[in-house]
A and B are shown apart, each in its own frame.
With several copies, the nearest count.
Chain A
Amino acid sequence: MAAIRFSNVGKRYEGGFDALTGVDFTLESGEMAFLTGHSGAGKSTLLKLIMLMERASRGQVQVGDQDLNSLSRRNIPQHRRRIGVVFQNHHLLFDRTVFDNVALPLQIAGYDPSDAARRVRAALDKVGLLMREKQNPIALSSGEQQRVGIARAIVNKPAVLLADEPTGNLDPELSEGVMRLFEQFNRIGTTVLIASHDISLIERMRRRTLVLRGGRLVADGY
């Protein structure tokens, strides 16, 4: 089954700028792929279309067996709960602890608190920040914040995991670790799509790589 399918997708932003043009690809369920391209190529835009943060101007985006064009506003929350995202700017909340930041998706989904706590700790442990759980994310370095964002994305054990530049603020060693973490999730069935500039890292991973240039998919392979 296809986890993510783009069929001739175009995205034109208000103001007439075409961020994506005729993008066509299919990511099978359980696949792991990289998305790369120059700054402004449209990587973030592509991920936003999957998250329904933007809607495609043309073509069809499909996630699982759901055509996103026909998904009503009311059903967006359910859709998003199936997807974990790591954002380029971490999108953490500085009015609560690291623990509460990671617990947010579980709270929203209505998990039992003790169950949620267990999952949050497991996720924080995976990114090596369990001992920082009581701190405010503002007291963390950028790399640490990025890892909190990763923990929040995986805490829900989502079917699809998206990451936008997840290693932009990490040193090479940590970057490697984060990638291994994503691979591990991929091994247990999660579909993973990672946007990144880190070409040397991508090459080392030897995974399928989608290359965008000026909004067009110019390469798709290993």
Chain B
Amino acid sequence: MAIKPQEKVAPRGAQKHRVGHLDRSRGWFRHHIEVALQALVRLTVTPVATLMTLAVLAIALALPGFLFTVVNNIQQFSIGWDTNPRIMLYLNTEVEDARAEQLSLELMLHGGLSGVELIDRDQGLREFSSYSEFAGMLSLLDSNPLPAVILVLPADHQAAALQQLQAELQSIPEVSEAVLDLEWIQRLNAYLLMAERFSWVLSGLLALAVLLVVGNTIRMTLESRRDEILVAKLVGATDAWVRRPFLYSGFWYGLIGSLFAFVLVQVSLYLITGPANQLAQLYSSNFVLQGLDLTSGLILIATGTGLGVLGGFLSTGRHLRAIEPS
């Protein structure tokens, strides 16, 4: 254990370390890979804490993913419904079926209409029975009291145009009444408005949550690596060098967290598939609950990773500068 001062040392000038350009960029790349791997290894050093953080992240990322999927499903559902405004033309009861048929064909040529459907008197009766709560009632009637109905879909959905079209159709002699089905739209709009507002509230909160969790975790890691930062700065580390491992930590947290989130969303959806499909069946809809597709999954993972890096970036900036040797 004795010190060896006698050893021969070459003159310093000649030995001075010079790093060439090619060498530098190769070194730079290698350094990045190294730092990234070290950041990953570091996560496994404290497995419990890391898993805890990842779990929180996964949950926070899964919830928007979940929301996203639910919205997707509602959209799919609402395609099954008829979301376009429509005008119901109740024909006079004395109009014959043949004439009703002809009228519907004439309307098909009308430029302002994108679709025409004839519901003749028998069909109307059947549909009515299946929809209404007063189902049993009609079977009590001796004859079919229902008129034929022509359902038309206006091409122009603006309120003014719709009203004008309604007036025009009302003036057809065979038409007893032209009812513009605006309540339907109003109801759907209310639904959508509510869903939208709710989505905003929740998405805002959760995006914030992800940033906060990553930021907070990295900030704490940074606090616990204070000594290392101090020493590194003392021996000449730049701010970027000190910051790099934390950015990579953010990257890994984001990436792994969102992978977990992806799994979580799929599992949660699987759990509610049973009841949801049962419900859909009651409405005899051909709705099938869908999981996250590949694109959405990639978006989820990209967003998570991006938020992770951003969280690392935000939480290190000012704070790293504040850790100065003294």
Contacts and interface: CB of A to CB of B under 8 A. Distances in A.
The answer on A and B forming one complex is yes
Interface residues of B, number: 34
Contact of B5 (A109, A112, A183): A183
B237 to A, nearest CB: 5
A111 B17 contact: yes
B27 A108 contact: no
Contact of B4 (A48, A111, A128): A128
Interface residues of A, number: 46
Contact of B28 (A80, A110, A180): A110
Interface in B215-243: 227-228, 230-238, 241
Nearest to A13: B326
B45 to A, nearest CB: 8
Which of B16, B17, B31 has the most CB atoms of chain A within a 10 A radius of its CB? B17
Contacts of A54: 326
Contacts, number: 99
B27 A188 contact: no
A180 B28 CA distance: 37
Interface in B152-193: none
B241 A108 contact: yes
A147 B4 CA distance: 12
A218 interface: no
B3 A80 contact: no
A129 to B, nearest CB: 8
Given A104-B231, A180-B5, A77 B237 contact: yes
Contacts of B28: 110
Contacts of A58: none
Interface string A119-145: 000000111110000000010000000
B271 interface: no
A147 B88 CA distance: 94
Contacts of B230: 91
A147 B2 CA distance: 11
A93 B3 contact: no
A48 B234 CA distance: 10
Interface of B: 1-5, 7, 9, 11-13, 15-17, 19, 23-24, 27-28, 31, 227-228, 230-238, 241, 324-326
Given A53-B326, A108-B235, 15 more contacts: A51-B234, A53-B325, A77-B241, A92-B231, A95-B228, A108-B232, A108-B241, A110-B24, A112-B23, A128-B2, A129-B1, A180-B3, A185-B9, A189-B12, A189-B13
